[in-house]
Protein backbone atom coordinates (compact mmCIF):
# COMPACT_ATOMS: atom_id res chain seq x y z
CA UNK A 1 0.00 0.00 0.00
CA UNK A 2 1.22 3.48 -0.83
CA UNK A 3 1.99 5.45 2.32
CA UNK A 4 0.21 8.68 3.10
CA UNK A 5 3.45 10.60 3.03
CA UNK A 6 4.18 9.32 -0.45
CA UNK A 7 0.66 10.20 -1.62
CA UNK A 8 1.13 13.71 -0.29
CA UNK A 9 4.46 13.91 -2.09
CA UNK A 10 2.74 12.80 -5.32
CA UNK A 11 0.05 15.37 -4.64
CA UNK A 12 2.56 18.20 -4.39
CA UNK A 13 4.51 16.98 -7.37
CA UNK A 14 1.42 16.74 -9.59
CA UNK A 15 0.33 20.13 -8.26
CA UNK A 16 3.60 21.66 -9.33
CA UNK A 17 3.44 19.90 -12.71
CA UNK A 18 -0.06 21.29 -13.18
CA UNK A 19 1.12 24.80 -12.36
CA UNK A 20 3.96 24.65 -14.90
CA UNK A 21 2.74 22.47 -17.77
CA UNK A 22 5.46 23.48 -20.20
CA UNK A 23 8.86 24.93 -19.54
CA UNK A 24 9.79 28.15 -21.29
CA UNK A 25 12.30 26.20 -23.38
CA UNK A 26 9.61 24.06 -24.96
CA UNK A 27 7.67 27.11 -26.10
CA UNK A 28 9.26 28.48 -29.25
CA UNK A 29 8.65 32.10 -30.13
CA UNK A 30 5.52 32.52 -32.18
CA UNK A 31 2.04 31.25 -31.80
CA UNK A 32 1.70 27.96 -30.06
CA UNK A 33 -1.29 26.89 -28.07
CA UNK A 34 -0.34 24.06 -25.75
CA UNK A 35 -2.80 21.20 -26.00
CA UNK A 36 -4.00 19.94 -22.65
CA UNK A 37 -3.79 16.18 -22.45
CA UNK A 38 -4.97 14.01 -19.58
CA UNK A 39 -2.21 11.59 -18.60
CA UNK A 40 -3.13 9.91 -15.31
CA UNK A 41 -6.31 7.95 -14.66
CA UNK A 42 -9.10 9.84 -12.89
CA UNK A 43 -8.85 7.30 -10.08
CA UNK A 44 -5.24 8.29 -9.42
CA UNK A 45 -6.17 11.99 -9.22
CA UNK A 46 -8.88 11.08 -6.74
CA UNK A 47 -6.55 9.09 -4.51
CA UNK A 48 -3.30 10.99 -4.91
CA UNK A 49 -4.63 14.54 -5.09
CA UNK A 50 -8.25 15.01 -4.01
CA UNK A 51 -8.42 12.50 -1.18
CA UNK A 52 -4.79 12.77 -0.01
CA UNK A 53 -5.12 16.53 0.38
CA UNK A 54 -8.57 16.28 1.94
CA UNK A 55 -7.26 13.90 4.60
CA UNK A 56 -4.19 16.06 5.11
CA UNK A 57 -6.44 19.06 5.66
CA UNK A 58 -8.38 17.17 8.30
CA UNK A 59 -5.18 16.27 10.13
CA UNK A 60 -4.03 19.89 10.14
CA UNK A 61 -7.41 21.19 11.34
CA UNK A 62 -7.61 18.64 14.15
CA UNK A 63 -4.39 19.92 15.69
CA UNK A 64 -4.81 21.80 18.92
CA UNK A 65 -3.52 24.44 18.79
CA UNK A 66 -3.08 24.83 15.03
CA UNK A 67 0.30 26.45 14.53
CA UNK A 68 1.08 28.94 11.74
CA UNK A 69 2.82 26.33 9.61
CA UNK A 70 -0.21 24.04 9.78
CA UNK A 71 -2.55 26.85 8.67
CA UNK A 72 -0.24 27.60 5.75
CA UNK A 73 -0.02 23.93 4.87
CA UNK A 74 -3.80 23.51 5.09
CA UNK A 75 -4.34 26.48 2.78
CA UNK A 76 -1.94 24.89 0.27
CA UNK A 77 -3.84 21.61 0.47
CA UNK A 78 -7.14 23.38 -0.28
CA UNK A 79 -5.55 25.13 -3.27
CA UNK A 80 -4.23 21.81 -4.58
CA UNK A 81 -7.77 20.41 -4.37
CA UNK A 82 -8.97 23.42 -6.37
CA UNK A 83 -6.26 22.72 -8.97
CA UNK A 84 -7.35 19.09 -9.03
CA UNK A 85 -10.76 20.32 -10.15
CA UNK A 86 -9.02 22.04 -13.07
CA UNK A 87 -7.38 18.73 -13.98
CA UNK A 88 -10.74 16.94 -13.72
CA UNK A 89 -12.17 19.38 -16.28
CA UNK A 90 -9.88 17.76 -18.83
CA UNK A 91 -11.45 14.36 -18.09
CA UNK A 92 -15.19 14.52 -18.69
CA UNK A 93 -17.05 11.29 -19.41
CA UNK A 94 -16.72 10.36 -23.09
CA UNK A 95 -20.37 9.87 -23.91
CA UNK A 96 -23.03 11.24 -21.58
CA UNK A 97 -23.11 13.71 -18.72
CA UNK A 98 -20.37 16.11 -19.79
CA UNK A 99 -22.28 19.26 -18.80
CA UNK A 100 -23.03 17.77 -15.37
CA UNK A 101 -19.36 16.81 -14.98
CA UNK A 102 -18.25 20.38 -15.66
CA UNK A 103 -20.84 21.72 -13.24
CA UNK A 104 -19.54 19.44 -10.47
CA UNK A 105 -15.89 20.24 -11.16
CA UNK A 106 -16.61 23.97 -11.09
CA UNK A 107 -18.42 23.57 -7.81
CA UNK A 108 -15.51 21.59 -6.36
CA UNK A 109 -13.11 24.36 -7.43
CA UNK A 110 -15.30 27.10 -5.94
CA UNK A 111 -15.67 25.27 -2.61
CA UNK A 112 -11.96 24.51 -2.35
CA UNK A 113 -10.97 28.08 -3.24
CA UNK A 114 -13.39 29.49 -0.69
CA UNK A 115 -12.02 27.10 1.91
CA UNK A 116 -8.47 28.29 1.15
CA UNK A 117 -9.60 31.87 1.83
CA UNK A 118 -11.08 30.86 5.18
CA UNK A 119 -7.88 29.00 6.07
CA UNK A 120 -5.84 32.08 5.21
CA UNK A 121 -7.93 33.95 7.82
CA UNK A 122 -7.29 31.13 10.32
CA UNK A 123 -11.02 30.87 11.00
CA UNK A 124 -11.48 27.36 12.39
CA UNK A 125 -15.30 27.31 12.52
CA UNK A 126 -15.71 28.60 8.96
CA UNK A 127 -12.94 26.28 7.77
CA UNK A 128 -14.67 23.23 9.25
CA UNK A 129 -17.92 24.32 7.64
CA UNK A 130 -15.98 24.71 4.38
CA UNK A 131 -14.74 21.11 4.70
CA UNK A 132 -18.36 19.92 4.94
CA UNK A 133 -19.31 22.00 1.90
CA UNK A 134 -16.33 20.68 -0.05
CA UNK A 135 -17.20 17.08 0.87
CA UNK A 136 -20.72 17.83 -0.37
CA UNK A 137 -19.31 18.79 -3.76
CA UNK A 138 -17.28 15.54 -3.89
CA UNK A 139 -20.30 13.45 -2.95
CA UNK A 140 -22.72 15.10 -5.37
CA UNK A 141 -20.49 14.15 -8.27
CA UNK A 142 -19.97 10.64 -6.91
CA UNK A 143 -23.73 10.20 -6.60
CA UNK A 144 -24.39 11.50 -10.10
CA UNK A 145 -21.82 9.18 -11.65
CA UNK A 146 -22.64 6.25 -9.34
CA UNK A 147 -19.26 6.14 -7.65
CA UNK A 148 -19.79 4.24 -4.37
CA UNK A 149 -17.54 6.53 -2.32
CA UNK A 150 -18.85 8.86 0.36
CA UNK A 151 -16.48 11.51 1.71
CA UNK A 152 -17.26 12.22 5.37
CA UNK A 153 -15.19 15.03 6.91
CA UNK A 154 -13.67 14.36 10.34
CA UNK A 155 -14.96 10.78 10.63
CA UNK A 156 -15.08 9.11 14.04
CA UNK A 157 -12.00 6.92 14.64
CA UNK A 158 -14.09 3.75 14.37
CA UNK A 159 -15.95 4.90 11.22
CA UNK A 160 -15.77 2.68 8.13
CA UNK A 161 -13.43 3.77 5.30
CA UNK A 162 -14.63 6.15 2.56
CA UNK A 163 -15.83 3.38 0.26
CA UNK A 164 -19.47 2.46 0.83
CA UNK A 165 -21.79 0.62 -1.47
C1 LIG B 1 -16.54 15.77 -11.25
C2 LIG B 1 -16.82 14.58 -10.52
C3 LIG B 1 -16.07 14.27 -9.25
C4 LIG B 1 -15.77 15.12 -8.22
C5 LIG B 1 -16.11 16.59 -8.07
C6 LIG B 1 -15.04 14.33 -7.24
N7 LIG B 1 -14.92 13.04 -7.67
FE8 LIG B 1 -13.99 11.53 -6.66
N9 LIG B 1 -14.44 10.25 -8.15
C10 LIG B 1 -15.07 10.58 -9.35
C11 LIG B 1 -15.08 9.42 -10.22
C12 LIG B 1 -15.67 9.36 -11.62
C13 LIG B 1 -14.45 8.38 -9.51
C14 LIG B 1 -14.21 6.94 -9.99
C15 LIG B 1 -12.84 6.88 -10.66
C16 LIG B 1 -12.52 5.50 -11.16
O17 LIG B 1 -12.56 4.55 -10.37
O18 LIG B 1 -12.18 5.39 -12.33
C19 LIG B 1 -14.08 8.92 -8.21
C20 LIG B 1 -13.45 8.20 -7.21
C21 LIG B 1 -13.03 8.71 -6.00
C22 LIG B 1 -12.37 7.94 -4.97
C23 LIG B 1 -12.07 6.44 -5.02
C24 LIG B 1 -10.77 6.20 -5.71
C25 LIG B 1 -10.46 4.72 -5.77
O26 LIG B 1 -9.41 4.33 -5.27
O27 LIG B 1 -11.28 3.97 -6.31
C28 LIG B 1 -12.07 8.80 -3.95
C29 LIG B 1 -11.36 8.46 -2.65
C30 LIG B 1 -12.53 10.11 -4.35
N31 LIG B 1 -13.12 10.00 -5.60
C32 LIG B 1 -12.37 11.25 -3.59
C33 LIG B 1 -12.87 12.50 -3.96
C34 LIG B 1 -12.76 13.69 -3.15
C35 LIG B 1 -12.10 13.77 -1.79
C36 LIG B 1 -13.37 14.69 -3.85
C37 LIG B 1 -13.59 16.12 -3.46
C38 LIG B 1 -12.52 16.87 -2.86
C39 LIG B 1 -13.85 14.12 -5.09
N40 LIG B 1 -13.53 12.80 -5.13
C41 LIG B 1 -14.54 14.84 -6.06
C42 LIG B 1 -15.61 11.81 -9.68
C43 LIG B 1 -15.52 12.94 -8.89
Each residue's pLDDT tens digit, 3-19 = 666 666 666 655 555 55
Report the separation in Å between the CA atom of 3 and the middle of ligand 1, taken as the mean of its atom positions: 19
Residue 23 has pLDDT above 60, yes or no: no
CA 9 to chain centre: 14
Residue 18's pLDDT is: 56
Q: What is the pLDDT of residues 121-133, one digit of tens each?
A: 999 999 999 999 9
Mutation test of ligand 1: which of 50, 116, 152 has the most ligand atoms closer than 8 Å to its C-beta?
50
Residue 25 has pLDDT above 50, yes or no: yes
User: What would you report as the CA-atom Rg of the chain, rounded to the nearest whole angstrom?
Assistant: 17
Residue 28 has pLDDT above 80, yes or no: no
Q: Structurally, what CATH architecture does the domain formed by 4-144 represent?
A: Up-down Bundle (1.20)
Report the separation in Å between the CA atom of 67 and the middle of ligand 1, taken as the mean of its atom positions: 30
Residue 2 has pLDDT above 70, yes or no: no
Q: What's the rounded mean pLDDT across residues 61-77?
A: 98
Question: CB 76: neighbour CB atoms within 10 A?
Answer: 19
Amino acid sequence: MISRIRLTAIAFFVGIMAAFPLSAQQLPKGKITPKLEPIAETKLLMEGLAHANFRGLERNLLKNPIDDQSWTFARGQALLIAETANLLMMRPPKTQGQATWFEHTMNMRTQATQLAQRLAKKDIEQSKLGMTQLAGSCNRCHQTFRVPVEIVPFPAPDAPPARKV
